[in-house]
């Protein structure tokens, strides 16, 4: 069973969060699901360096102010992931280009549960909601 190590960005815009819809995939359980953008950590990279690189590749923008949020281990039917999420900010919202994603939404934390998230992301969404209750 493959085991991927992944970094994901919880991009904050004021009190809201950017949510991205993945493209189609041969694995239906991640296909067109919402996620926090990012990707696989490559050999020799820290999770933070990988995340800055992936966001530039996927969205064409720089992120800053990375703050570790949570690590989740999730077993999908065909592979396992260990995913590190970081809260961060984006340099210029208007410059986001969707090089890989189908769509993105800027939602308040209380709206996050309305989306169809990849299963591995559900703990992140739950923690964001819990934290927002103060
Ligand atoms: N980036 C990201 N991947 C996620 C999330 N939730 C989730 O289950 N995944 C899964 C989907 C993918 O199988 C894997 C990460 O792969 P990816 O396709 O985003 O990474 P990558 O850009 O390095 O992939 P590639 O170059 O091999 O195509 O983790 C998430 O919130 N963000």
State which residues of the chain have pLDDT below 50.
none
Which DSSP helix (H) or strand (E) runs through 14? none
The 10s digit of each residue's pLDDT in 105-132 is 999 999 999 999 999 999 999 999 999 9
Q: How far is the CA of 99 from the centre of ligand 1 (A)?
A: 14
Q: What pLDDT score was predicted for residue 122?
A: 98
Q: What is the pLDDT of residue 134?
A: 77
With the most atoms of ligand 1 within 8 angstroms of its CB, the residue from 11, 35, 43, 125 to mutate is: 35
Q: 121 CB less than 6 Å from ligand 1?
A: yes
The dihedral over CA atoms of 56, 57, 60, 61, expressed in degrees to the nearest 10, equals -10
How close is the Cα of 13 to the center of ligand 1, in Å?
22
Ligand 1 binding pocket includes 58 (Cβ within 6 Å) = no
pLDDT for position 3:
98
Domains of the chain are 2-132 (3.90.79.10)
DSSP 8-state code for residue 42? P
∠ CA(104), CA(89), CA(10), 5° rounding? 55
**Cα separation, 23 vs 33, whole angstroms:** 8
CB of 41 closer than 8 Å to CB of 47: yes
Whole-number Å distance between alpha carbons of 35 and 101: 10
């Amino acid at each position: 069973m493959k085991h991927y190590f992944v970094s994901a960005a919880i991009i904050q815009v004021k009190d809201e969060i950017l949510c991205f819809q993945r493209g189609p995939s041969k694995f239906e359980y991640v296909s067109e699901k919402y996620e926090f953008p990012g990707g696989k950590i490559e050999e020799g990279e820290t999770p933070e360096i990988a995340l800055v690189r992936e966001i530039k590749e996927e969205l064409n923008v720089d992120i800053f102010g990375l703050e570790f949020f949570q690590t989740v281990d999730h077993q999908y039917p065909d592979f396992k992931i260990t995913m590190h999420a970081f809260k961060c900010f984006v340099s210029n919202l208007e410059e986001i280009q969707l090089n890989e994603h189908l769509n993105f939404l800027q939602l308040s934390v209380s709206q996050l549960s309305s989306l169809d998230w990849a299963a591995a992301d559900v703990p992140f969404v739950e923690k964001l909601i819990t934290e927002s209750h103060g």
